Amino acid sequence: MTTHFWSGQKPRHSGVRPSATAHAKTGGAHIRPLAGPRPASHQVPAPLHHSEPASDRLRIIPLGGLEEVGRNMTIFEYGNDIVIVDIGLQFPEEDMPGIDYIIPDINYLKGKEKNIRGVIITHGHYDHIGGVPHLVGKLGNPIIYTAPLTAGIMRKRQEEFRDAPPLRIVLVNGQTKVPLGQNFVFEPFHINHNISDAFGVALSTPLGLVLHTGDFKFDFTPVNDEPADLHRIAMFGTKNVLALMSESTDAESPGHQTSEKVVGEELDRIIAAAPGRIIIGTFASLLTRAQQIMTLAEKNNRKVFIDGRSMINNIEIAHELGYMKYKPGTIIEEGEVRKIPDESLIVVCTGAQGEKNAVLMRIANEEHRFLKIKQNDTIIFSSSVVPGNERTVQSLKDTLVRHGARVVHSKMMDVHAGGHAKQEDLKLMMRLTKPKYFIPIHGNRFMLQSHADLAISIGIPKENIFIADNGQVMEFDKKGARLTTEYVPSEYVMVDGLGVGDVSNVVLRDRRVMAEDGMLVVIATIEKKTGRLIGNPDLISRGFIYMKENKELVEKTRMRAKKLLRDGDPRSPAFAEFIKNKIRNDLGQFLYTQTKRRPMVLPVIIEV
């Protein structure tokens, strides 16, 4: 099979081959024009499953990405045909201790695996591909349609999951047209983002054309890419677009997104004037920025050291596929770093979000193997701050400045261009496509609402705008469209180490309690036949009190536990669970009255 590339790119060789087996296969719900809140309990109503989907109805079901930034996954269902766009992950929130990331809930698709005609992946960021290794096997390992760079990143990540099946990938480009079952035809269209090979999705259905933008921006001077295909997008607008699903991540920001050319010019000025080392923190997947740095390093006679496993992998893949170009010797290995004068070195690393184990944080905390901050260092944060990370990033900057570095970030200079369309770009997308119905996607509720307000401002009727929740079904038929009250399962599926979905809300609650108030372990030995206490209970405190400095409270707690254990009837056998519950409830209340904190009380009963 021929490997296709976007027009204008000339890679040396693909390094990516589609699987040999891959091939392309050819109700009266309540109408709510704008989504209202879920029921007060926030419990999802039981899904209204149909024994057989109506043959003349298009159902669009977001399983993630509409109440958060990340976990993007959308189902398109018409008759017996199902098409999926993206299978992403979401990074955990601050109140999710121990969770690595969150993936979509695919329970709705159980029993329908044979109907899945294909999965379309719009680009290679983890919020769009991160769930693939966990879920594609459970979906019956359907064919994945994507572009070459995205395919390379996905294949590399798949290697880390030994139990996951080999991916069945078919490569697409701007001229691809793929029938998916009897009711869908898929066409990608080129857009700009801050990773190469990103595309939007045009999905032809019996009811009309549905457009899904993926993550996008309009950049007329991009790096290693061509501008978005405005002509093709406008041509779609002449075909009576049924619905536009457009991303909302930057819907509150006025104006146009900064061009990558402007960022390159600003970085050039900083690199040329920097007296010592330059350390640039950015996203591992921000390959356009990495290309700019390579080009500017060669221009300013500097060498580049890359640190961060995911960043190294992505750059190697992009270089192998021809998406990144740099001269031999521009990138140096670890052993060469000490030999390079400070004024001739650029370090590109991960950790600009303040991740605790990432390279930039280890440098700041003096935990890196060999990199330490020096007085003449210039630190550039060439990335936006992901919502929720503001405090951590600020602390990281403070630490770097204390060590004597100069810190540069996007609020000071144009050293970062976001990958997401701002208000004027979003309005341009709507004006070009002229949709009958508009569905804002990819963002928190306030972002979706801001995007809906933009749509109203350019003349799209309010009743034709659907702001949906995750799991909420949108239906289209010959009579019109509606945002229904039907919900399918869309709960968080949490990945914790090797466990997928085995961490429940109860486990998270327990972790939060231990993080906030600590725990107290009560260990008691009793006679099995009588329940009589043997000796005094032992207490262990972790994260609650320092026992050596709170001897009075410790003894009061010990005596109270002893009294509880002696209250039983010595003529009856011990009931361990009853005793544990009694200790847990009584000591929990007692400690709250003494400290105004409620630690997790863990009774351990040893029967002899």
**pLDDT score recorded for residue 468:** 96
Q: What are phi and psi of 393, to 5 degrees?
A: -65, -40
**pLDDT score recorded for residue 49:** 42
* Contact between 302 and 345 (Cβ < 8 Å): yes
* Predicted TM-score of the model (pTM): 0.74
Give the integer Cα–Cα distance in Å for 326 and 298: 8
**pLDDT score recorded for residue 137:** 94
Q: List the one residue out of 184, 232, 239, 193 whose CA is nearest residue 214.
A: 193
Give the integer Cα–Cα distance in Å for 60 and 33: 15
* Contact between 501 and 493 (Cβ < 8 Å): yes
Give the length of the chain: 608
In the chain, what is the greatest distance between 2 CA atoms, to the nearest angstrom? 89
- pLDDT tier for residue 184 given thresholds of 50, 70 and 90: very high
């409830």: which residue's tokens? 585
Among the ranges given (16-30, 325-339, 368-382), the one the predictor scored with the smallest mean pLDDT: 16-30
Give the integer Cα–Cα distance in Å for 322 and 291: 11
- pLDDT tier for residue 527 given thresholds of 50, 70 and 90: confident
Distance of CA 322 to the CA centre of its chain: 27
> What mean pLDDT comes out for the span 266-275?
90
Q: What percent of the chain has pLDDT over 70?
A: 82
Question: In DSSP terms, which residues pair with 606 in a beta bridge?
Answer: 525
pLDDT in tens, 213-237: 999 999 888 877 889 999 999 999 9
> What mean pLDDT comes out for the span 152-173?
92
Burial class (CB in 10 A: 0-12, 13-18, 19+), 214: buried
**Pairwise pLDDT comparison (95 vs 258), residue with the higher score:** 258
**Pairwise pLDDT comparison (512 vs 434), residue with the higher score:** 434
**pLDDT score recorded for residue 20:** 34
Q: What is the dihedral of CA 170, 175, 180, 183, to 10 degrees?
A: 170
User: Average pLDDT of the chain?
Assistant: 83
Give the integer Cα–Cα distance in Å for 148 and 130: 17
Distance of CA 37 to the CA centre of its chain: 24
pLDDT in tens, 535-562: 888 888 877 777 777 888 888 888 888 8
Burial class (CB in 10 A: 0-12, 13-18, 19+), 36: exposed
Give the integer Cα–Cα distance in Å for 379 and 400: 8
Q: List the one residue out of 415, 417, 223 whose CA is nearest residue 325.
A: 223
Give the integer Cα–Cα distance in Å for 32 and 466: 8
pLDDT in tens, 416-426: 677 899 999 99
**pLDDT score recorded for residue 160:** 87
> What mean pLDDT comes out for the span 172-179?
91
How is residue 75 written in tokens?
A: 């189902």
**pLDDT score recorded for residue 404:** 86
End-to-end CA distance of the chain: 71
Give the integer Cα–Cα distance in Å for 333 and 187: 42
Strand pairing of 241-247 and 208-212?
Answer: parallel
Distance of CA 69 to the CA centre of its chain: 7
**pLDDT score recorded for residue 500:** 60
* Contact between 195 and 219 (Cβ < 8 Å): no
Q: List the one residue out of 490, 551, 353, 597 whose CA is nearest residue 73.
A: 490
* Contact between 164 and 28 (Cβ < 8 Å): no
How is residue 333 written in tokens?
A: 């290995």
> What mean pLDDT comes out for the span 133-160?
94
pLDDT in tens, 110-145: 999 999 999 999 999 999 999 999 999 999 999 999
Give the integer Cα–Cα distance in Å for 114 and 454: 39
Give the integer Cα–Cα distance in Å for 290 and 296: 10
Among the ranges given (10-14, 351-355, 476-480), the one the predictor scored with the smallest mean pLDDT: 10-14
pLDDT in tens, 445-479: 999 999 999 999 999 999 999 999 999 999 999 99
**pLDDT score recorded for residue 508:** 55
Q: List the one residue out of 425, 397, 395 whose CA is nearest residue 411.
A: 397
Among the ranges given (38-47, 292-301, 326-335, 355-364), the one the predictor scored with the smallest mean pLDDT: 38-47
Sign, Cα dihedral of 35, 41, 42, 45: negative
- pLDDT tier for residue 44 given thresholds of 50, 70 and 90: very low
**pLDDT score recorded for residue 516:** 65
Strand pairing of 184-190 and 178-180?
Answer: antiparallel
**pLDDT score recorded for residue 175:** 86
Distance of CA 73 to the CA centre of its chain: 11
**Pairwise pLDDT comparison (500 vs 540), residue with the higher score:** 540
- pLDDT tier for residue 578 given thresholds of 50, 70 and 90: confident
Taking CA atoms, 241 is separated from 246, 408, 460, 475, 540, in Å, by 13, 44, 13, 16, 65
Q: 329: left (phi > 0), else alpha (psi -120 to 50), else beta?
A: left
* Contact between 22 and 169 (Cβ < 8 Å): yes
* Contact between 559 and 593 (Cβ < 8 Å): no
| Residue 478, helix vs strand vs coil | coil
Taking CA atoms, 301 is separated from 340, 343, 480, in Å, by 11, 9, 62
Please give the radius of gyration of the chain, using alpha carbons only, rounded to the nearest integer.
28
Q: What is the dihedral of CA 415, 121, 204, 138, to 10 degrees?
A: -150
Give the integer Cα–Cα distance in Å for 236 and 382: 35
pLDDT in tens, 364-398: 888 898 899 988 899 988 877 766 667 888 888 88
**pLDDT score recorded for residue 366:** 87
- pLDDT tier for residue 80 given thresholds of 50, 70 and 90: very high
pLDDT at 47 > cutoff 80: no
Sign, Cα dihedral of 271, 277, 281, 287: positive
**Pairwise pLDDT comparison (199 vs 505), residue with the higher score:** 199
Give the integer Cα–Cα distance in Å for 577 and 583: 10
Q: What is the dihedral of CA 77, 83, 86, 92, to 10 degrees?
A: 40
Give the integer Cα–Cα distance in Å for 54 and 314: 43
